Structure 1
Amino acid sequence: MLTSALAGFAASAVLIIAIGAQNAFVLRQGLRREHVLPVVLTCAFSDLALICAGIAGLGAVINAQPGLVTAICWVGAAFLLGYAALAARRALRPQRLETTGQAPATLRATLLTCLALTYLNPHVYLDTVLLLGSVAQQHPHRWLFGIGAATASLLWFVALGAGAHRLAPLLARPSAWRVLDGLIATVMTALGITLIVQA
């Protein structure tokens, strides 16, 4: 039983820690200290729901509908490229990158962005629903595998959101935010292009 939970924890940690749309957004919110707890909880509970869906068999349903996967890829690519353009715009306008003096986004707008970055990103379905769901099926205690995977997700997002403020001194200058937003724009663009190639 413990082996299944630890396997789920390890598998989820390996997939989640890679830099992606969700992580970049949580990091930015943590650095700005804006709606961090709601964002962290949204990401963690979304992962929990997707992991449970994968273990329950949603992955097999998605695999049986290649047209759905293609549509998700195109929508996700459009969203990620749009988000990349916004990040690139922030990087080119350093005067607007201060963590203070910039009007904070509303909680509603922040959560909508967080949900879009989560559910419009096909990699979430490929990694969380299909891959973790398939691996869980190979364990005798698949739901304990899921608990382990969800625990890794929760711990990662809490650490990322709560620990990001420690980087604030390094990002006190607009030029540092330009680098961060440039990195985010690059990552989002690469993910978007990857999805277009896969579609």
Structure 2
Amino acid sequence: MLSAALTGYFTAFSLILAIGAQNAFVLRQGLLRSHVFLICLFCAVSDALLITAGVAGFGAMVEYFPRMPFFLSLFGAAFLLFYGATRFLAAWRGGYEMELSGKGLDLWPALGVVFACTWLNPHVYLDTLGLIGAVSTQFEPASQKWAFGTAAAFASFSFFFGLGYGARLLAPVMQTPTTWRVLDIGIGIVMWLIAFGLIASLGSY
């Protein structure tokens, strides 16, 4: 049981650790101290649901819908290009009065962005339904399998809440328009690199 739980926790944590649209948005909200709890909760619960589906064996759905990765990658790339463009535009325009005053998006627009960052990201499905689901198959009986899945879901909660609330440690640095501009440019570059990677992968589906 302990071995299965540790494997689940560190497998999930290592997959989530990669910089992506979801993590970048959580970091930004954490810096702004804006809707941090709900944003982190949304990300963690979404991951937990997908991990549960993967452990339960629904990762095999790709075998029945072989074009699903293609459409996920296509929609994901389109969203990441758009979101990256908004960050480049914000950096070009400047005017970070809201950020410097600690204000961010209203709740529903913020949830809309994190929804897109989470559920339009094909890597989320590959990591949770695919990889985590595949790793879970080595654990039997069912009690070990669900110990693996529970620990993997807990990794999501610990990571996102750690990122969201830990981001405020960087708040003293984020006190000038220049630092916010650098952050937005960095996020925009990461978003576009991921998008171009997804576009490049379309030919393999």
Residues 132, 97 of structure 1: alpha-carbon distance in 2 compared, 3 angstrom cutoff = farther
Matches within 5 A, 1:93-108: 93-96=93-96, 98-101=98-101, 104-108=104-108
Give 1:172's aligned amino acid: Q
Shift of residue 98, structure 1, vs aligned partner: 4.7
The alignment yields a C-alpha RMSD, in angstroms, of 1.3
Partner Cα distance (2:83, 2:197) in 1: 15
Given the alignment of the two structures, is residue 8 of structure 1 paired with residue 8 of structure 2, yes or no? yes
In structure 2, the residue matched to 1:142 is 145
Matches within 5 A, 1:166-177: 166-177=169-180
Q: Secondary structure at the match of 1:53?
A: helix
Q: Secondary structure at the match of 1:170?
A: coil
Given the alignment of the two structures, is residue 187 of structure 1 paired with residue 178 of structure 2, yes or no? no
In structure 2, the residue matched to 1:89 is 89
Q: Secondary structure at the match of 2:173?
A: helix
In structure 2, the residue matched to 1:50 is 50
TM-score, normalised with respect to structure 2? 0.93
Shift of residue 93, structure 1, vs aligned partner: 2.0
Q: Secondary structure at the match of 1:104?
A: coil
Given the alignment of the two structures, is residue 130 of structure 1 paired with residue 133 of structure 2, yes or no? no
Partner Cα distance (1:17, 1:124) in 2: 12
Gaps of 5+ in 2: none
TM-score, normalised with respect to structure 1? 0.96
In structure 2, the residue matched to 1:35 is 35
In structure 2, the residue matched to 1:110 is 110
Shift of residue 102, structure 1, vs aligned partner: 7.5
Kindly indicate whether the alpha-carbon contact (under 8 Å) linking 1:96 and 1:102 is maintained by their aligned counterparts in 2.
no
Partner Cα distance (1:177, 1:103) in 2: 13
Gaps of 5+ in 1: none
Q: CA offsets, 1:2-51, max 9 Å, x none?
A: 11000000101110111111110000000011100000000000000000
Partner Cα distance (2:190, 2:176) in 1: 22
Give 1:156's aligned amino acid: F
Given the alignment of the two structures, is residue 156 of structure 1 paired with residue 164 of structure 2, yes or no? no
Residues 171, 63 of structure 1: alpha-carbon distance in 2 compared, 3 angstrom cutoff = farther
In structure 1, the residue matched to 2:73 is 73
Q: Secondary structure at the match of 1:47?
A: helix
Kindly indicate whether the alpha-carbon contact (under 8 Å) linking 2:100 and 2:175 is maintained by their aligned counterparts in 1.
no
Shift of residue 148, structure 1, vs aligned partner: 0.9
Partner Cα distance (2:6, 2:33) in 1: 32
Q: Structure 1 residue runs of 4+, over 3 Å off? A: 100-104
